[in-house]
Every structure is written in C-alpha cells, then in structure tokens.
Amino acid sequence: MKIPNIDCKVEITCIVNPSEDIEKIKKSISNILPNSKIEFKNFLIYAQSKDLYSFEKFYDVIRSKKSYKTYARNLENNLKNNSTWFYVNKQAAFVEQIAICEEAGESPLGPLKVTLTSSNIDEIIDWIVFND
C-alpha cells in the first residue's frame, strides 16, 4: 500500500454511555486508529491523529472486503468543505474489526464517528476508495 503524502487529520469521536467502560472504548479506538492521542471529557471520547498512516487499517479493510461502494457512498454523501465522515461499530472495533454503519442506530451502544479533514479531501477519498 502506498500512502500519499497529503496532510490529513483523522479524528474519532464517541459518546460514552454511563454503562460503558471507558478503557474498553479507548482500546476500541486504539485498535482501529493506532498511535492516536485519546482524550475523555464529559462523556465524550475524542481521538486524533495527524498521520495518514494511522488510517492504514481502514484502507486494508476496504480492500479486503471490497467495500468500495459503501465507503465511497458514505464519504461522498458526508462531504462538506474539506471534511468527510462515516460511522463504525464500536463493539466490532473492540475486537479489532472495522464494520461500517450506514446509520448511528446500527451500533447498539452508539458508533464511533470517523472524520477526515484535509485541504485535499477529494484526493484522499479517491485514494481510499478507488486506488488499487
């Protein structure tokens, strides 16, 4: 996999339900966005990486599962200015799996929201879903 040299910020946000273990959610995030900086405040977890290499697991899943159309649709539909986003299942992330959610309600305890921001967001979307 060739990762383009494009500045990009990758963020994951998630609401923490009172019944959830914060450490398990942090582990879920670390499993799918390694080397990210994770913060917790007021029932919200926020993780950030400024390294497009941290997006490698997502890229690999899209390739292995041939999920191009699903990701392309989500990334294009949620594109606004220089940012786009999609949801992934929080419980799947805990066991190091990436399962995209079309809607927030598909993840019983709420999803992880993955946001990509870049001045070259169109190039990043093309790399994610169309690069072979």
Please say if the pLDDT value at position 1 is more than 70.
Answer: no
Quick check: 93 and 33 in contact, CB under 8 A?
Answer: no
Confidence of residue 128 (pLDDT cuts 50, 70, 90): confident
Query: CB-based burial of residue 2 (10 Å sphere; 0-12 exposed, 13-18 middle, 19+ buried)?
Result: exposed
CATH for 9-130? 3.30.1440.10
Q: What is the reported pLDDT for 39?
A: 95
pLDDT tens digit sequence for 37-95:
999 998 999 999 998 888 888 888 877 767 778 888 889 999 999 999 999 999 999 99
